[in-house]
Structure 1
Amino acid sequence: MKPLLPLEEAQERLIAMATRLPSESVPVAEALGRYLAKDLVAKRSQPAADMSAMDGYAIAFDDRAGPWKLVGECKAGSPPSTPIKPGQTARIFTGALLPQGADTVVMQENVEEDGGLIRLIDEPSPVKGRHVRHKGGDFQAGDVALSVGTTLTAAALGHAVIAGADMLCVGHAPSIAILSTGDELVAPGTDTQPHQIPASNDIMIAAMLAQLPVRTRSISRIRDDMDSLCAALESAKDCDVIVTIGGASVGDHDLVAPAFEKLGGETDFWKIAMKPGKPLMAGKLGKSLVLALPGNPGSAFVTATLFLLPLIRYLAGASTYLPLMQNAISNAPLPATTQRAEFLRANVDGSGITPYNSQDSAKLSILAAANALLYRPARSPEQQPGAKVSYIAI
């Protein structure tokens, strides 16, 4: 019997089959969730000049004893007031440019005004530069504001705008077709017979993809016959990625692999040393990457987390594409594993991580209740409560 492919090797081989998609320029306001395709170099310094971080009075540090004669006012969005001289001050507001001659701001709470004179009452020794945001203190023109592969979050987009960008070069959003197979599948909300089941996997996988920059097409409830499956695969060959759900095993009615081969597809690997998700297949059909996920929802979810989402991130230009592993203390004993890596549906909180007693991959109730996949590498020894383990947040 051919040995199962180790998980890490399968992930590496899947990414090796892929080629990052070309880049495109999009307005900053439309770039949320995309991945930066080249370094963003700041066109301006921030702040562009020394400015106040507080409402107060601008003074020269060497003239810190006071009192000071009030000679001007500095507002945010206005040019600086006239320069100040020794013995003078200017009223200044948060975000306003410091006038020439000033290098320090005294908070308004720490002074009193008396006939146009400003006296210090609660800050007997101002510190030079206090309450001042200095020119280039955040970043300077020419700095790399955001690096290639960065996920463009809301904060990153704000940073891009402050750095002077209005357009961003990002990776293209992959197109993906989701094909769910099985004679037992019926439309959501349909009254079911005992031999039927509502088609949930395509909805679940599409929802997982919705968090990524991707264009999704759903081809649902494909019959378990060769002609129907071949026609569905043919109709999706214009997509960058074709994902099938179900029919990837070796039963008489598991027709994904035979249909794939009939159409001239090239299989790269099939069957992974992992649980759940052993009957995973990957290959190419024309220019499309094909990933065949198992049909049980737990298996489909786990394999999508470990293979499909990383593939989409990679194609779209992410610098980090594999799922983030975190650490926690196990609250339960963990049996030894075999040659297959295991991903246990679990709940993680401040006390640690607890796997569910049942790990049946057909039980969506467990998957819906879980917020983590507890990772047990292949051939792990038995571990007692209190052991440090790795997990993926879901």
Structure 2
Amino acid sequence: MSLLPVDEALRAILARVPDVVPEAVALNQAAGRVLAADVIAQHDQPPFDASAMDGYAMRAADVSEGVWLKVIGMSQAGAGFAGTVGPGEAVRIFTGAPVPAGADTVIMQEEAVREGDMVRFTAPARPGHSVRPRGNDFATGQMLIERGTRLTPMQISVAAAANYPALSVATRPRIALVATGDELVLPGQALGPDQIVASNSFGLAAMLAPYAAEVRDHGIIADDAETLRSRLAAVFADAPDIVVTTGGASVGEHDLVQDVLKQLGVTLDFWRINMRPGKPLMFGMHGKTLVFGLPGNPVSAMVTAQVFIKPALRRWQGAAEPTPWRLPLAGPTPANTARRHFMRAQLLHMPTGPELLPISQTDSGHTSSLAHADMLIVQPEHDPGQAVGALVDALPLDGF
């Protein structure tokens, strides 16, 4: 059976992802969520001409060296001056307060000399200086945050300033994780003969949590057909949006997990991808549930999740797919095979800018090298190898 190209596999997966379903969440619960509707300004900000300084508001034309103006009142944030500033007059004003009618400038208090109800200034006045015009921050009808944006604290702040108590965001999927294999034991347990510590579900849960309403770990299932069938049936009965299995111990020429999934009604779109690490990737559907069968080797599991599951989760929430980074190499890359290689690399911050240092380790079970990687260099099929300084595409291992 021929290996499916990476790009073709990704297109097939994305075609199965459902349309965005919006839900309203309170502003204090919206950080990290992806907007399902644009945030549009419904009012001007500030809603009036406001002072940018503590000082005095007056007509710029009335200010000159040695000239005293009469202070006729005060304008504070939340309690503006109700009258009008006329010739020869000034109003004491504070940062954020409305600039009174008639005034066209503000001079800060450090450049003012006050005696009783009179004030003069040691600096010239400039019309409009230290005044934030109405709508200077944003104006009614202005686009503030576009749908598909993952909300950061800065964007939460502007949404609050725009008087949004809640935002429309994309619902997130419920994800179920299943690890398979007789050889696996949980971290913290004593290792018996021929056993290894399970790591896949822990790494995947941490990777997928920012995209999910829930990541539920269903534990380890032994390589027994009846046990697999009953445990996986229970997983599907819980109706998760996405099921991710890792491992699939071969029995003769049959993949145990794949056979059981088929028996449970999963229709497979494909398995075996033209990539390394991670060739034995499986994808299909169980009703509306997306089913990913990832390799058991931990590096393969994490890399295939990075390359295929994360884009599906971004699509699920309507988030834009980020463009790969393009950076120069700090070390050469070897010639590649016919399979696309997602090569581990460190991101170096050099005086001339960021560079990528390839990690030579390619073993799909070598977790420590992946832990030291910041990026995955995307090495094309049959790439002859690249010299130091060559620009290459890379995927960041951190971030959304």
TM-score with structure 2 setting the length? 0.92
Residue 388 (structure 2) aligns with: 385
Instruction: Structure 1: give runs of 5+ residues left out of the alignment.
Output: none
2:145 alignment counterpart: 146
Alpha-carbon spacing, 1:8–1:64, altered in 2? closer, same or farther (3 Å): farther
1:1-394 superposed matches below 5 A: 1-2=1-2, 4-65=3-64, 66-121=67-122, 123-124=123-124, 126-237=125-236, 238-247=239-248, 252=253, 254-315=255-316, 317-320=317-320, 322-351=321-350, 352-394=355-397
C-alpha separation in 2, matches of 1:80 and 1:298: 67
SS class of match (2:300) = helix
In the TM superposition, residue 293 of structure 1 has moved relative to its aligned partner by 1.0
Is contact 2:173-2:211 (8 Å) kept? Answer: no
- Cα–Cα, structure 1 residues 250 and 10, in superposed 2: closer, same or farther, change >3 Å? farther
Q: Which runs of 5+ in 2 are unaligned?
A: none
SS of equivalent to 1:378? coil
Q: Deviations over 1:312-335 (max 9, x none)?
A: 2222x2331x35421221111112
Tell me the amino acid that sits aligned with residue 33 of structure 1: G
What SS does the aligned partner of 1:211 have? helix
Alpha-carbon separation, structure 1, partners of 2:23 and 2:278 = 35
CA change 1:327–1:166 in 2 (3 A) is: same
Conserved 8 A contact 2:187-2:197: yes
In structure 2, give the amino acid aligned to 1:16. Answer: A
The CA RMSD measured in Å over matched residues stands at 1.9
How many angstroms apart in 1 are the aligned matches of 2:362 and 2:103? 68
Could you report, residue by residue, the CA deviation over 1:161-184 in whole angstroms, capped at 9, with x for unpaired residues? 111211211111211101111111
Please state how far the C-alpha of 1:81 moved relative to its aligned partner.
4.4
The one-letter code of the counterpart of 1:227 is E
Instruction: State the alpha-carbon separation in 1 of the partners of residues 21 and 276 from structure 2.
Output: 35
- Judge conservation of contact 2:272–2:282 (CA < 8 Å) in 1: yes
> Relative to structure 1, is the Cα distance of residues 130 and 73 closer, same or farther in structure 2, using a 3 angstrom cutoff?
same
Determine if contact 2:20/2:318 at 8 Å carries over to the other structure: no
Other structure's SS at 2:114 match: strand
Runs of 4+ in structure 1 deviating by more than 3 angstroms, as ranges, are: 248-254
Q: CA deviation at 1:77?
A: 2.2
Q: Cα deviations across residues 145-203 of structure 1 (Å, max 9, x unaligned)? A: 22221212222222111112112111112111011111111121001124111211101
Q: 1:350-373: CA deviations, max 9, x gaps?
A: 121111221212111111122221
Check 1:388–1:55 CA distance in 2 against 1; reply closer, same or farther (3 A cut).
same
Say how many residue pairs are matched.
Answer: 389
Partner Cα separation in structure 1 for residue 344 and residue 250 of structure 2: 22
Asked if 2 retains the 8 angstrom alpha-carbon contact of 1:305 and 1:323, the reply is no
CA distance in 1, matches of 2:30, 2:36: 12
Aligned-pair CA distance for 1:248: 7.5
* Cα pair distance change 1:213/1:119, threshold 3 Å: farther
State the shift of 1:118 in Å: 2.3
CA distance in 2, matches of 1:55, 1:269: 67
Which is further off, 138-147 or 168-177? 138-147
Change (3 A) 1:323 1:304: farther
> Does the aligned pair in 2 maintain the 1:70–1:116 contact within 8 Å?
yes
Paired residues of 1:310 and 1:323 also in contact (CA < 8 A): no
| Superposition deviation, residue 16 in structure 1 | 0.2
Find the residue that maps to 2:210 and give its secondary structure.
coil
Helix, strand or coil for the counterpart of 2:211?
coil
- Assess, with a 3 A threshold, how the Cα gap between structure 1 residues 36 and 259 changes in structure 2: closer, same or farther: same
Q: Kindly indicate whether the alpha-carbon contact (under 8 Å) linking 2:343 and 2:378 is maintained by their aligned counterparts in 1.
A: yes
Shift of 1:253: 7.0
In the superposition, the TM-score normalised over structure 1's length comes to 0.93
- Opposite residue 150 of structure 1, the aligned amino acid is T
Q: 1:250 to 1:294 in 2, by over 3 A?
A: farther
Comparing 109-118 and 332-341, the one that deviates more: 109-118
Contact 1:224–1:253, Cα closer than 8 Å, also in 2: no
Is the 8 Å Cα contact of residues 223 and 229 (structure 1) preserved in structure 2? Answer: yes
Counterpart AA for 2:137: D
Q: Is the 8 A contact 2:332 2:358 kept in 1?
A: no
Secondary structure of 1:350 counterpart = strand
d(CA) in 2 for partners of 1:58 and 1:310?
Answer: 54
- 2:268–2:284 CA contact under 8 A, matched in 1: yes
Displacement after TM superposition at 1:64 (Å):
3.6
SS of aligned partner of 2:71: strand
Distance 1:145 1:228 in 2: 53
